[in-house]
Structure 1
Amino acid sequence: MKINLCETNLDGHHEIYLENLLNISSTSKLFIDIKIEGNKKRIFNYIFDRKKLIKKFLSKDNEIFHLLYFDMIYTYFPLSSLNINKIILGTLHFVPEEKLKIILLKNFSKKIDLIVVHSEILKEKLLKIGIKNVEVVHYPSFYDYSIIEPKEKLKKKFKLEDKIVLTTLGGTRNDKGLDILLESFKYLNSELKERIILNIAGKEETFKKEFIVQKSKENKINIRGKYGFLTDEEFMENVLLTDVMVMPYRKIFGGNSGPMTEAIVNKIPCITPKGLNIGDLTEKYDLGLTFECENPKSLAETIEKMILNKEKNEFFTSDYHKKLTVENFLRSYEEIYSKLEKGEYK
């Protein structure tokens, strides 16, 4: 049975996710170039765009439909107008916290065969709210780090040999909390700050370069900034030269973190917020340390503790990285597709 991989976005990680799934036999790309309204205040467009998209995705018969970014679709709420008699699975990247979204997700989960999430902890959250048709596929690293120089050479290349490199990667969106990290340096002592380079690499979004530079002056932060699009090589270099990966994300962030995945596969310790999925992962699998979410002072204390742990050679011995391979990713999806075709999720 043909498996339609349904996507509306071919940027960044969307494309690499799709391209890897196309390595599974019987999969086929079903790309619909349509802009989906994200502003809930424009309620007519918000509903109509999703209804139109669902009908386009499900226009064929006797096939499996894999909605690769289910997060964008389940908020379509006039479910009474939908008569879904297809085999459908949706990959959910973020588990919502808002009550309305939880209700919408629970309703839509009854309309489809299966929901896929990227960690056991996200699955546990869905089970707690009454969604039972859930499977886990661990989100892997799709990068080949063997083509990049090792950490020692990279740090020498960028004149960082004697520095502790704290890195935050990705777009400077509000939910990723870069401002919280910048504020935390206010609580670090001067001697420690002198030893730290804060490595910021990613597209300017909510927090612009001017804001970052101003905060670095106020809080006496040594910044290494790369603002804008990163090539794959630049991205991997920024990962490998890192001593500690920091995810200062806000409470609204409900999924996995790409930079965290890259840190894990390269055995780089992480600092993550308690209570979030990534914080739960950190504590469950011994991937680093956690701090009180949205609390700059707690983050500063955790940074100090992390540096002390590293200097004592108290490294983390987690083997969680073994789960995050492309081979495991593809094998898991192959098993799911096979079960769907046999009707085992009915």
Structure 2
Amino acid sequence: MKIIYIDTILRGHHKSYLEILTLQNLNHEMLAILPSTLSGVKTYVIPFENKGDSITGFYFIRYIYWMNKIKRIIEEENPDVVHFIYGDFFYRYFGIGLSWLKKYKIIMTFHHIRRSYFRDISLKRIFKLISNGVVHTDSLYYDMQQIGIKNIEHIKYPHMGLQIKESQAEAQSTLRFTADGRKVLLALGGTRKDKGLDILLDALKQITIPFHLLIAGQENDFDRKYIETNLGSYISQTTMILKFLSDEEFERCILAADFIVLPYRRGFDGASGPLIEGVARGKIVIGPEHGSIGQTIKNYHLGYIFKTEDVDSLAKTICDALNKSFIPDETYRAYQKCLDPKTFIEAHSKLYN
């Protein structure tokens, strides 16, 4: 079977995700259309500058140009399956151009699904133009069914780490900090507004129990100056690694932590890389009650949930978590097993067939 993988981004988890599908799934002939080359895979390099929220103007022209190039490559290669790895990209364009590929089996993965009147219209149109969509959480799967989308598959997001063999203390040392016996709270990933770092910073001002805060990820909406200004009295017990993290740095941050804290706003709904990698390492998760993340934490006994976007609720939840002894149970362990990349690959092979 010949499969073409397509993405507009090849960094961070986009790259790791593709490597799992392509480097470990050797039963198929695989090609890729990406903004840069992927080791071990024949790659057509077609960059796309994915900016702007409008379907009009310069970026729409770039999008049509990009889709036309993809169409020509697909017609030349004549694959059995075309798999768009990042379907979220197509919302703003309402799937325009997908009809050019209607003779092929198209799979499209959606990592986060944001709901609104126009987004729902776009989603329904996209799903009429593809063979199957893939989501990674129970919540998103049921959301799609509720708006009448039936050609949807639920495949759990895999963990991508577990390569580094270090203790928590060794990981902290490599990252150049020590918690001095305090529990480590980790806020991991780009400092975008929807990830709610500002909510966490405010909540921690209410905490009197000793802790160490590790903030790691690329500066986005909240820069270093904002963070330092809002750290308050616990600035001396905070470590910041504000840059794009390598895979090794990402994994070491998880190894160094006790709690993965996800203070995400309501607009964020989808699979969470820090949650998945944290659970793979046996960490405790603190996250919002809404959507996919809240349901996942609650259903699989992964940790603690708080009222979304509620500073007081988050502060109380962190206090409770720091005071309690959390022992992963059988439900937690069963969820860990579901995150095995082999399960992920087998589910995709079944879908392709």
Instruction: State yes or no: 1:266 paired with 2:266.
Output: no
2:89 paired residue number: 72
Superposition deviation, residue 218 in structure 1: 5.6
Superposition deviation, residue 232 in structure 1: 2.5
Alignment of 1:32-47 (within 5 A): 32-41=45-54, 43-47=56-60
Q: TM-score, normalised by structure 2?
A: 0.87
Instruction: State yes or no: 1:299 paired with 2:314.
Output: yes
2:142 paired residue number: 124
Q: Distance in 2 between matches of 1:222 and 1:12?
A: 28
Superposition deviation, residue 38 in structure 1: 3.0
Instruction: State yes or no: 1:163 paired with 2:182.
Output: yes
Q: Distance in 1 between matches of 2:244 and 2:215?
A: 12
Q: Distance in 1 between matches of 2:8 and 2:246?
A: 22
After the TM superposition, which parts of structure 1 deviate over 6 Å for at least 4 consecutive aligned residues? none
> 8 Å contact 1:176–1:250 — kept in the other structure?
yes
> 8 Å contact 1:260–1:270 — kept in the other structure?
yes
> 8 Å contact 1:9–1:33 — kept in the other structure?
no
Q: Distance in 1 between matches of 2:243 and 2:142?
A: 36
Superposition deviation, residue 41 in structure 1: 4.4
Q: Distance in 2 between matches of 1:153 and 1:37?
A: 39
Q: Distance in 2 between matches of 1:17 and 1:80?
A: 25
Instruction: State yes or no: 1:112 paired with 2:127.
Output: no
Amino acid at match of 1:100: F
> 8 Å contact 2:135–2:141 — kept in the other structure?
yes
Instruction: State yes or no: 1:275 paired with 2:294.
Output: no
The two structures, once aligned, show a CA RMSD in angstroms of: 2.2
Q: Distance in 2 between matches of 1:273 and 1:115?
A: 26
- The range that moved more, 36-45 or 179-188, is 36-45
Superposition deviation, residue 19 in structure 1: 2.2
- The range that moved more, 59-68 or 257-266, is 59-68
Instruction: State yes or no: 1:252 paired with 2:267.
Output: yes
**Residues paired across the two proteins, number:** 331
Amino acid at match of 1:28: L
1:343 paired residue number: none
Alignment of 1:47-196 (within 5 A): 47-59=60-72, 60-61=74-75, 62-63=78-79, 64-77=81-94, 79=96, 82-83=99-100, 84-145=102-163, 147-155=164-172, 158-188=177-207, 190=208, 192=209, 195-196=210-211
* SS at structure 1 position matched to 2:245: coil
> 8 Å contact 1:7–1:67 — kept in the other structure?
yes
Superposition deviation, residue 159 in structure 1: 2.5
> 8 Å contact 1:175–1:249 — kept in the other structure?
yes
> 8 Å contact 1:183–1:219 — kept in the other structure?
no
Amino acid at match of 1:295: D
Q: TM-score, normalised by structure 1?
A: 0.89
Q: Distance in 2 between matches of 1:290 and 1:57?
A: 43
CA deviations on 1:59-115 (whole Å, 9 max, x unpaired) are 334422111111102432385994433210101111122221111011110111000
Superposition deviation, residue 253 in structure 1: 0.7
CA deviations on 1:226-250 (whole Å, 9 max, x unpaired) are 1113232222221012111100011
* SS at structure 2 position matched to 1:43: coil
2:40 paired residue number: none
Q: Distance in 1 between matches of 2:351 and 2:94?
A: 27
1:6 paired residue number: 6
1:344 paired residue number: none
Identical-pair percentage: 31
* SS at structure 2 position matched to 1:10: coil
Gaps of 5+ in 2: 35-44
Superposition deviation, residue 203 in structure 1: 1.1
